[in-house]
Copies of this chain bind each other. A is one copy, B any other.
Amino acid sequence: MERLKQRILQDGKYLGRGILKVDAFLNHQVDPELMMACGEVLARRLSHTRPTKVLTAEISGIAPALAAAYHLGVYLIFARKHRPITLPEDSFHVRVPSPTKGGEVELWLSPEWIGPQDRVLIVDDFLATGQTIKALAQLVHMAGGRVVGVGALIEKVFQKGRENLRHLNVPIESLVRIARFEEDGAIIFAE
């Protein structure tokens, strides 16, 4: 998606250690119009998977996943990192290694909103190592649902998320693919 690529070139900053700062339009400040446009493209590319729900992880996945769900005409669920008192005690949870924070984070899903009848599209801001998306897929399986596709705005190809998610055997779409970062901070796109 050329528009997102240009925005990354204009406002993205490479911080080293594989970390791309996109706080100008995605992770702290959010450009709603850009999010809706990205969600529309993801929805178009993945509508053939006929999802009944979109699932993401709080926090930064919420904006793009909401946009995709809106354009697909289905509900969004965001997995919680802490179980709030509103989640039932029999909620599902998984642990995910957090490379940027160190240690692990938890992800929680209530059994109320995903069940055996559901075809779930997982949407997140980044596809990096694929650990978060893999954990979200585990939650879907624990709830008896089926993962039918994966969508992300920005794929960091060198972190091998696509390979790590191959076992899901579903279409994986990303809007922008970054092949690598150069030492001077230059962003090299794939293809």
Interface-lining segment among A57-65, A128-136, A137-145, A150-158: A57-65
Residues of B near A59 (CB, < 8 A) are: 58-59, 62, 78, 80
Residues of B near A32 (CB, < 8 A) are: 66-67, 69-70, 75-76
Q: With the chains together, A113 CA to B26 CA distance in Å?
A: 12
Interface-lining segment among A1-9, A82-90, A182-190: A82-90
Q: Write the A15-33 contact mask toward B (1 if CB under 8 angstroms, else 0).
A: 1000101011101111111
Known: A19-B85, A86-B19. A77 touches B28 (CB 8 A): yes
Residues of B near A27 (CB, < 8 A) are: 84, 86
Known: A63-B62, A66-B63. A87 touches B30 (CB 8 A): no
> A100, B84: Cβ atoms under 8 Å?
yes
Q: In the complex, how many angstroms separate the beta carbon of A71 from the nearest chain B beta carbon?
A: 9
Q: In the complex, how many angstroms separate the beta carbon of A63 from the nearest chain B beta carbon?
A: 5
Q: With the chains together, A23 CA to B76 CA distance in Å?
A: 11
Residues of B near A67 (CB, < 8 A) are: 32
A positions within 8 Å CB-CB of B: 15, 19, 21, 23-25, 27-33, 35-36, 58-59, 62-63, 66-67, 69-70, 73, 75-78, 80, 84-87, 100, 110, 112-113
6 shortest A-B CB distances, which residue pairs? A32-B70, A29-B113, A21-B86, A30-B76, A32-B69, A62-B62
Given contacts A28-B80, A28-B110, A29-B113, 18 further A-B contacts (CB under 8 A): A15-B85, A19-B85, A19-B86, A23-B112, A27-B84, A28-B86, A29-B75, A29-B76, A29-B112, A30-B66, A32-B70, A32-B76, A35-B66, A58-B58, A59-B62, A59-B78, A62-B63, A62-B66
